[in-house]
Homo-oligomer: A and B are copies of this chain.
Amino acid sequence: MSIRIGIYGYGNLGRGVESAIRQNADMEAVCVFTRRDPSSVKTLTGIPVFSTDKAIEMVNDIDVLILCGGSATDLPEQTPKMAQYFNVIDSFDTHAKIPVHLKKVDEVAKKSQKTAIISVGWDPGTFSIARLYSSSILVDGKDYTFWGKGVSQGHSDAIRRVEGVLDGKQYTIPLESALSTVREGKTPEFTTRQKHTRECFVVAKEGADLNKIEQEIKSMPNYFADYDTTVHFISQKELKENHSGIPHGGFVIRSGKTGLNGENKHVIEYSLKLDSNPEFTSSVLVAYARAAYKLNKEGICGCKTVFDVPPIYLSNKSREEIIASML
């Protein structure tokens, strides 16, 4: 019997989950829940669409509900609410607020005897796992996380709020010089500017003051002021043709020393190069949905993180097969 997945929210992430489920023979996508008018939403694979109000009526039809909303306002409310009724997975990514979110979801899930896994994706997610393994192994060391080259949604939004800007896209780019320093096993303290640069592709409104836009972007506090930022003005056509993807990726690199006098250096590197940030995140969500299903079957309830889940729970294969083919 398949693991029956419900998709709660149908943006890029929800669509990614829907197509990721098709790659997993042991799973089936039951339906999508939306806050929009369900009749206005057409799914990629033709699965039915219901109003979020109807979700609770479907507790017996769904094994795991994957929450595909945003971290700012959706998930802090939706995950604890839905954990009353379902095993749930979310991609809550506001790092500083994870402990509070975890506590809320844990209380609910323990009461309802459901299994929740939060902050699933790549950062937080597989990058977090890389940081934990490598720091547990190379105890005397230091790790670095670099992001990109990739599109930052938040920074692209910030550009679009600048007066005179019609549209825009921002890429975060790790500095090669910083990457190679860390790969050599050195452990410098970088400034923000030394780790990443930011590149903006901007479509200006007709007659707008380009110089003013560029200065305003480059001096924007938190978003751009601490970085070397490049601004390119391009046409809407060019933006659409060359910058409509949502690529991303990055690097987690830890270097450390071993030996009685720290005489030997080691470097552990984990990296991702993603054509589609939301589709990769969705693929991670789906693997952890399988884990939540298995954990719940074993009676393990409450709110978990990627740190708590044995890697073997993510796979569709049997333990014997995994050990024989991958160990």
Contact = CB atoms under 8 A, between A and B. Distances in A.
Given A270-B270, A271-B269, A276-B264, A137 B312 contact: no
A102 B316 CA distance: 21
A252 to B, nearest CB: 10
Contacts of A131: 326
Interface residues of A, number: 71
A319 B306 CA distance: 12
Contacts of A284: 137
Contact of A99 (B133, B270, B323): B323
Contact of A316 (B98, B136, B314, B320): B136
Interface string A60-101: 000000000000000000000000000000000001001100
Contacts of A307: 310-312, 319, 322-323, 326-327
Contacts of A138: 283
A324 B95 CA distance: 8
A135 to B, nearest CB: 7
A275 interface: yes
Copies of this chain per assembly = 2
Question: A99, A260, A314, A327: which has the most chain B beta carbons within 10 Å?
Answer: A327
A114 B297 CA distance: 25
Given A19-B258, A259-B19, A327-B119, A132 B273 contact: no
B276 A258 contact: yes
A258 B23 contact: yes
A113 interface: no
A139 interface: yes
A115 interface: no
Contacts of A19: 258-260
A126 B133 CA distance: 9
Interface string A253-271: 0000011100111111111
Contact of A260 (B22, B258, B273, B324): B22
A279 B22 CA distance: 43
A307 B312 CA distance: 5
A91 to B, nearest CB: 12
A183 B271 CA distance: 11
Nearest to A279: B258
7 contacts: A22-B260, A23-B140, A129-B133, A135-B326, A266-B272, A266-B276, A269-B273
Given A102-B323, A266-B279, 7 more contacts: A23-B258, A128-B326, A133-B311, A269-B272, A305-B327, A307-B319, A310-B310
